Amino acid sequence: MNQTPQSTAPMAGQLPHVLSADNVTKKFDTAEGPLVAVDNISFDVRPGEFLSVIGPSGCGKSTLFNIIGGLTPDHDGTITVDGEVVRGPHPSIGMVFQEESTFPWRTVIDNVCFPLEIANVPKAERLDKARHFINLVGLSGFENRHPSELSGGMRQRVAIARTLVSQPKILLMDEPFAALDEQTRLLLGDKVLQIQQELKQTTLLITHNITEAVQLSDRILVMTYRPGKLKRIVDIDLPRPRTSDVVSSPAFGAYVAKIWGDLREEASRGMAESERAR
């Protein structure tokens, strides 16, 4: 598991954190001058935890996602995974994208096999692993369908299975349920909770949805509107194993209210600014 020779931890799980962000800053040059999308953000992800990053639209969440995933090279500060600095897409980080990202010309099983093909895993092993993860996301029986024959929620599950099959240490997701309706989103949240608890999968979720973040997370990082800074870290002390039933508990409501209190001024600032720009 540990490819890093400099890793000093003798036992897995003893590491204080699997991923850390140190003073990460990203500026873009725009016509109106430099724009600071992500401003000096630092945080750690602990092994096995579900951590969400929440913020209003335009706070640089997706920029942070791309930096952690190694797809945006020119930034200040460092992302470290298992003591290794991320300088490009890292094998320990598995990304799930916001957009429709299944390959339309591949069947479900071939989509899920994709990362294993890239890694030159032998075919029999590839199919075994792919079937296991298709089963895990609840799509057994759909192996030979094309994405065009599936619903949006099923396609996003294919994308999640495709990322899980590469067995990343950290599952990194950017608003994976943004395009789905509320009920599908809650049910898919249940599926993600179940998988995450079963695999003890360390997960980092980028979202703008408060209920989704509270439903799934152990901790939530709240970001400010432009420039995107870390505003607060909220520990979500709801019982585990968890299902979507928690949304009806009073404690859940209290967390949602608390985070909305933090987000409200950021979101209204963002709204005012975009209206002024119009």
Partner 1 sequence: MASTDVVKGMARARRSGISVMQVRIVLLVVLLAGWEIMARSGLLYRDVVPPLETIGWALIKLLSSQAFYWNLAVTVAEVLAALAIGGSIGFMTGVLLGGSRFFGRALEPYIYYLGPTPKIIFFPIMIMWFGVGPGSKIAMGAVSCFFPIALSAAAGMRQIEAVLIRVGRSFRASQWQMAMKIYLPAMRPAVMNGIRLGLGIAIIGTLLAETKLSNRGIGYLIMQAYSVFDMPRMYALLITLFAFAIGANAIVGRFGGPAKRQ
Q: Counting contacts by CB under 8 A, is residue 91 touching partner 1?
A: yes
Rounded to whole angstroms, how far apart are CA atoms 155 and 149? 9
145 part of the interface to partner 1, by CB under 8 A: no
- For position 83 contacting partner 1 by CB under 8 A, the verdict is no
Is residue 117 a contact point for partner 1 (CB under 8 A)? yes
Whether the upstream peptide bond of residue 115 has omega within 30° of 0, thus cis, is no
Q: Does 89 bind partner 1 (CB under 8 A)?
A: yes
The answer to whether 100 contacts partner 1 (rule: CB under 8 A) is yes
Half-sphere exposure of 7 (CA within 13 A, CB side): 21
The answer to whether the Cα torsion of 18, 24, 29, 32 is positive or negative is positive
- Residues 12-31: x where in contact with partner 1 by CB under 8 A, - otherwise, as a string: --------------------
Closest to partner 1 by CB, 104 or 261: 104
Say whether residue 166 binds partner 1 (CB under 8 A): yes
Applying CB under 8 A, among 43, 50, 114, 255 the residue interacting with partner 1 is 114
Query: If 0-12 CB within 10 Å is exposed, 13-18 middle and 19+ buried, where does residue 48 land?
Result: middle
- Taking the C-alpha atoms of residue 10 and residue 74, their distance in angstroms, rounded to an integer, is 34
Residue 177 as a binder of partner 1 (CB under 8 A): the answer is no
The yes or no reply on residue 101 touching partner 1 (CB under 8 A) is yes
Q: Considering beta carbons, is residue 173 or 230 the nearer one to partner 1?
A: 173
How many chain residues bind partner 1 (CB under 8 A)? Answer: 26
Please, is 204 exposed, middle or buried when counting C-beta atoms within 10 Å of its C-beta (0-12, 13-18, 19+)?
Answer: buried
Query: Shortest gap between Cβ of 215 and partner 1 (angstroms)?
Result: 25
Listed in order, strand segments (DSSP E) in the chain are 19-30, 33-45, 50-54, 76-81, 84-85, 93-96, 170-174, 202-207, 219-223, 230-235
Taking the complex as a whole, the smallest distance from the CB of residue 68 to partner 1 amounts, in Å, to: 11
Q: How far is CA 84 from CA 19, 89, 164, 222, 275, in A?
A: 9, 12, 21, 26, 42
Distance in Å, CB of 94 to partner 1, minimum: 8
Q: What is the number of helices (H) and of strands (E) in the chain?
A: 7, 10
Smallest distance, partner 1 to C-beta of residue 9, A? 25
> Across the strands, what pairs with 78?
22
* Binding flags for partner 1, 195-224, as an x/- string (CB under 8 A): ------------------------------
Cα separation, 51 vs 233, whole angstroms? 10
Q: For partner 1, which is the closer residue by CB, 87 or 240?
A: 87
Binding site for partner 1 (CB under 8 A): 69-71, 88-89, 91, 93-95, 97, 99-101, 103-106, 114-115, 117-119, 146-148, 166
